[in-house]
Amino acid sequence: MTQLSPGPHDVSHILGDLNASRADREFLAHAEMHLPRLHALFVRLYGQRPDGVERLASVVDLARRSWTERPRALKSLDRERDSTPDWFESERMLGGVCYVDRYAGGLSGIRDAIPYFRELGLTYLHLMPLFESPEGNSDGGYAVSSYRRVNPALGTMDELAALAADLRRAGISLVVDFIFNHTSNEHEWAQKAVAGEAGFEDFYLIYPDREMPDAFERTTREIFPDDHPGSFVQLDDGRWIWATFYHFQWDLNYANPAVFEAMAGEMLFLANQGVEILRMDAVAFIWKQLGTTCESLPEAHLLLQAFNAVLRMAAPGLLFKSEAIVHPDEVITYISPDECQLSYNPLQMALTWEALATRDGRLLQQALERRHALPEGTAWVNYVRSHDDIGWTFADEDAAELGIEGYPHRRFLNDFYVGRSEGTFARGVPFQENPRTGDARVTGTTASLAGIEAGDAGGEDRVILAHALALSTGGIPLLYLGDEVAQLNDYGYADRAEEAGDSRWVHRPFRSAQSDADRTDARTPAGRVFSRLSRLLAVRRSTPELAGNDLVAFDARVRSVVAFLRPGDSGFSVLVVANVDDSAVEIDALTLSGLAPEALDLVAASPVWLGAGVTLGAHDVRWLRVRTR
């Protein structure tokens, strides 16, 4: 066993071995480029370990074998991506997300839905967790028992690979979750770890008594307090194991490089099935250290970068999307070409809802101004809502500048969205309400949160406004499939035993044949929302200014108006203006005087004269092509 040395010695040794083994030339080129980086990361993560060099060499060998097995079609996709590295920043990008069973029964049903995905213009399809997982409650599949087997109720791994190829032919990239912070308690690694099998003892964090758990819990946060307090659960034999989320989701111990190697193997396996984007689940939690919050530690980044370097060698076309639903200062730290190229934008999502509730666009406007910029070669995934709850992740410091106090404001938003405040239009349900801390989050479909369920007159407009923002701020917009036909909450979850304890199921309705049929009927909310949204989707596709991430905040001088410019070529920009108020407002001519008066309303396809100001109706949103003077 040899320890890693910080100098180039280990790298040249491993490269020498690769040369001697006559590794494929392309792989060698990838290794020459990325191995030094991987090595440096290993030195920082595992420099103290006696088995450092061996582990690094076996990870590289794993990558080499995986590249050898990589299907030819995927290698040619790798090359294509390499020659168009900004492919995911195009105005034509559009994501969709759904549960395989709820949306289509199984993988074959998803294949049958491809014509509809094309009709919508999807170029990215995130299928919610579809791996083998425990019967009953499996946290919607986020407790994985095998990364190499598809849940038999949905299909097989061969079908998944075939589906990936079909999707690719239709211009759609397959996205799946990479749930690597934890496995289910039924995963074979978990079983072996509990049994103390050699090589697996340190795969998880298991302690004989409460001493270490108590010490850790002094500084960690409770994530699923409805399920269990703290970060640990007790095993049948009395020992304690780390479980951040549900009691059956056991956190892996990445301080052990064998865990890194094992997970890298699962990741490369998925890459070779044709997955093009991995949604990196729960990234903030992957490294633990006593005396810290055990969230977003520096090593969490090093680990992600190390996975990234492994992929660049063996499946270079693949991207990572970070799922960090944390403070905005932290969200941004996961985003870089060497770490996660894509990231959810939870701040924009939450503040869109915040603005709709308060009828005040300032917090969202401020976030667009100061928290929107990203490093080159990366992009936001902008969404209106996801399969998870909405947490109010804005920075208290930002809010304070506007005279808003974080704690009571979050309270107000929770009450508003769960229908507890007077005059609210929202029909959400609380999630993980913690009476001790007063903390809570909100669940509900877009249509139910926006007021359609309550029959509020502004409901449909709010759905459109929220989507118009997600579609125009840049990056990849992501639709929760079913929202485009205004599906409402599914209260039936409360009667289904394995869902009743988790209110997020309220906003994960089964695909509704009725709503789908209604989408062509303008007398229904589904029909009206679908046709308005389809128009926005079509306009986005043909508006190059909406590609990329360049955004210049525009001060419309109206409290309820969110406004920004998306600069394009040859002096033209798209000006987006959205009014979150329930009544009409006016942006005056003086405010618009930096723009040429002739403008084009892209959605209405009609000219607009800015010389007299612009009136925005209640919840009105406009995409105007303008010329700056």
Q: Interface residues with ligand GLC (CB under 6 A)?
A: 139-140, 142, 179, 245, 281-282, 323, 388
For tokens 């995986």, the residue is: 66
Q: Which residues pair with 206 in a beta bridge?
A: 241
Q: Strand 561-567 to strand 552-553: parallel, antiparallel, or no bridges (unpaired)?
A: antiparallel
Given the residues 281, 484, 490, 502, select the one marked as catalytic. Answer: 281
Contact 427, 444 (CB under 8 A): yes
Instruction: Compute the least distance from the CB of residue 66 to ligand GLC, in Å.
Output: 25
Q: Which is nearer to ligand GLC, 280 or 315 (CB)?
A: 280
Is residue 553 classed exposed, middle or buried when 0-12, 13-18 and 19+ CB atoms within 10 A define those classes?
A: middle
User: What is the spatial distance between Cα 464 and Cα 254, in angstroms, rounded to a whole number?
Assistant: 43
Instruction: Compute the least distance from the CB of residue 281 to ligand GLC, in Å.
Output: 5
Residue 2, phi-psi category: left (phi > 0), alpha (psi -120 to 50), beta (remainder)? beta
Give catalytic status of residue 139 as yes or no.
no
DSSP string, 146-208: EEEEE-TTT--HHHHHHHHHHHHHTT-EEEEEE--SEEETTSHHHHHHHHT-TTTTTSB-EES
Nearest Cα to 139, choosing from 149, 129, 126? 129
Q: Helix H segments across 487-584?
A: 497-500, 513-518, 525-541
H or E stretch covering 356: helix 346-358
Given the residues 177, 227, 323, 490, select the one marked as catalytic. Answer: 323
Q: Tokens representing 447?
A: 């249509």
CA distances from 558 to 135, 401, 475 (A): 53, 17, 26
Instruction: Compute the least distance from the CB of residue 89 to ligand GLC, in Å.
Output: 24
Buried residues in 429-459 as b, exposed as e (16+ CB within 10 A):
bbbbeeeeeebbbbbbbbbbbbbbbeebebb
Instruction: Compute the least distance from the CB of residue 371 to ligand GLC, in Å.
Output: 21
Q: Which is nearer to ligand GLC, 140 or 257 (CB)?
A: 140
Q: Which is it for the CA torsion 14, 19, 20, 22, positive or negative? A: positive
Instruction: Compute the least distance from the CB of residue 323 to ligand GLC, in Å.
Output: 6
Q: Which residues pair with 241 in a beta bridge?
A: 206, 233
Give catalytic status of residue 281 as yes or no.
yes
User: What is the spatial distance between Cα 468 and Cα 384, in angstroms, rounded to a whole number?
Assistant: 10
User: What is the spatial distance between Cα 132 and Cα 515, in angstroms, rounded to a whole number?
Assistant: 30
Nearest Cα to 99, choosing from 139, 158, 148? 139
Instruction: Compute the least distance from the CB of residue 182 to ligand GLC, in Å.
Output: 7
Q: Which is nearer to ligand GLC, 267 or 599 (CB)?
A: 267
Three-state DSSP state, 606: strand
Q: Which is nearer to ligand GLC, 42 or 245 (CB)?
A: 245
Contact 37, 305 (CB under 8 A): yes
Instruction: Compute the least distance from the CB of residue 164 to ligand GLC, in Å.
Output: 21
Q: Tokens representing 89?
A: 């920043």
E-assigned strand segments in 462-597: 476-480, 552-553, 561-567, 572-579, 585-587
Q: Which is it for the CA torsion 380, 384, 390, 393, positive or negative? A: positive
Instruction: Compute the least distance from the CB of residue 179 to ligand GLC, in Å.
Output: 6
Residues 6+ apart with CB under 8 A from 114: 166, 167, 170, 172
Nearest Cα to 417, choosing from 460, 453, 382, 373? 453
Instruction: Compute the least distance from the CB of residue 140 to ligand GLC, in Å.
Output: 6
3-class SS letters over 412-465: HHHHHHCCCCCCCCCCCEEEEEECCCCEEEEECCHHHHHCCCCCCCCHHHHHHH
Instruction: Compute the least distance from the CB of residue 132 to ligand GLC, in Å.
Output: 15
Instruction: Compute the least distance from the CB of residue 432 to ligand GLC, in Å.
Output: 10
Q: Which is nearer to ligand GLC, 391 or 525 (CB)?
A: 391
Nearest residue (beta carbon) to ligand GLC? 142
Residues labelled as active-site residues: 281, 323
